[in-house]
Structure 1
Amino acid sequence: MVGHHRHSTTIAASIWVGCLLGAALFYGVGLWLFDPVVRPVLEWMGLLEDFNAMSENLEGSGFFWSVFLVSFSPAPMQLATLGAGAVEGSFPLFIAAIAASRGIRYFGLAALAHLFGPRIAELDIPTGRIVLIVLVLGLGAWAVMQLL
């Protein structure tokens, strides 16, 4: 968005619509294919306990806020979308929560890119080195986690 700050709103809208379509698809997978497809995959990935904990939160009275907060945070939104379908949560409420949280995120970033994009684009940031450093740090953190 920073590189094309004049089109940041269009970019945000495209990403937002794609996210809503993907969330609706994952909701449907959770609703109709949970036992034959999703449960075995979650077991294989070791995420079934996390999924069950998230599903308990979704079944409560705070369905909207649970979906909203998970999709706004860095937590894996896919688990919330699958869980919302698996617990047969209200689809309109689900879409409203995803639309609100992701709308705030994407259009907020678009506003920042529009306001500060020209100044940031003028900076000479050596992205190749930054990517390499982030990759090495990420691999190092992963290796440490595997050893623990």
Structure 2
Amino acid sequence: MSDTDTTKRSPLRDRVKEWARGPWLLPVATLIGFIENTFILAPMEPVFMPLMVLRPKRAWMVAAALLLGNVLGGLAMYGLGAVFAEEAIAPLMRMLDATDTYEQTLKTFDNDGFATLFMIGVTPFPFQVGVAAAGAAGYSLPLFILAVALSRSIRYFALAGLVMLVGERAEEVLKKHQLEILLVGGALFAGFVIYMIFF
């Protein structure tokens, strides 16, 4: 598919590419990271990968900015969970059809909150659910930040490394191996569900 076709189908990608060429590269990456951990459940790679591809030598800086935004978004959701668990988080979970998952996640923080947060960060589990549950459970804030930063950095810096290695072919490589990635992610998610239920 040509870049022109992609642009017609996704004006947002075109706008992101324009930002990547200007001075707003890192602030936009930080904003995307924040949004991804607060409002958007869908993967954001189609939006932030162009930032890395257009500036491959600075891909690691984009990854760091995404991580910063993601941690800040996590802190926002943690705060909502801590202060407004019933008023804001409960209705949000109902809207996302994630009430049962949220309540189950709350229970796991009593046993091993760090492992729970870390696994949520590296699996297809809705991350907003996990970070909000951490706040509602009163989980340690320093450990929360550490778990979020470690788990999310794996994803962002792995993608940055891929871009630095293969450049603009990075998205093509991801699409080519999409099935394998989904299988690995599904296996990790299944393992996490088993962990939540039985441990």
TM range (shorter): 0.7 to 0.9
Q: Provide the rounded CA distance (Å) in 2 between the counterparts of 1:109 and 1:89.
A: 29
Residues 34-91 of structure 1, C-alpha deviation per residue, up to 9 Å, x if partnerless?
A: 012211332344321111111111221x211100110111111000000000000001
2:120 is matched with 70
2:104 is matched with 53
Change (3 A) 1:45 1:23: closer
Residues 115-144 of structure 1, C-alpha deviation per residue, up to 9 Å, x if partnerless?
A: 1115x27x9x7xxxx9xxxxxxxxxxxxxx
TM (norm. structure 2) is: 0.57
**Gapped runs of 5+ residues in structure 1?**
131-148
Q: Does 1:18 align with 2:72?
A: no
Q: How large is the Cα RMSD of the aligned pairs?
A: 2.0
Contact 2:82/2:137 (<8 A) preserved: yes
Residue identity (%): 31
1:28 is matched with 79
1:98 is matched with 148
1:9 is matched with 60
Q: 2:78 corresponds to which letter in structure 1?
A: Y
Q: Provide the rounded CA distance (Å) in 2 between the counterparts of 1:8 and 1:45.
A: 32
Q: Provide the rounded CA distance (Å) in 2 between the counterparts of 1:101 and 1:40.
A: 27
Q: Provide the rounded CA distance (Å) in 1 between the counterparts of 2:98 and 2:64.
A: 31
**Gapped runs of 5+ residues in structure 2?**
1-51, 176-199
Question: What SS is found at the alignment partner of 1:88?
Answer: coil
Change (3 A) 1:105 1:45: closer
Q: 2:62 corresponds to which letter in structure 1?
A: I
Give the number of the structure whose alpha-carbon radius of gyration is greater.
1
Count of matched residue positions in the alignment of Structure 1 and Structure 2 = 122
Q: Provide the rounded CA distance (Å) in 2 between the counterparts of 1:41 and 1:22.
A: 15
Q: Provide the rounded CA distance (Å) in 1 between the counterparts of 2:108 and 2:61.
A: 34
TM (norm. structure 1) is: 0.75
1:111 is matched with 161
Contact 2:117/2:148 (<8 A) preserved: yes
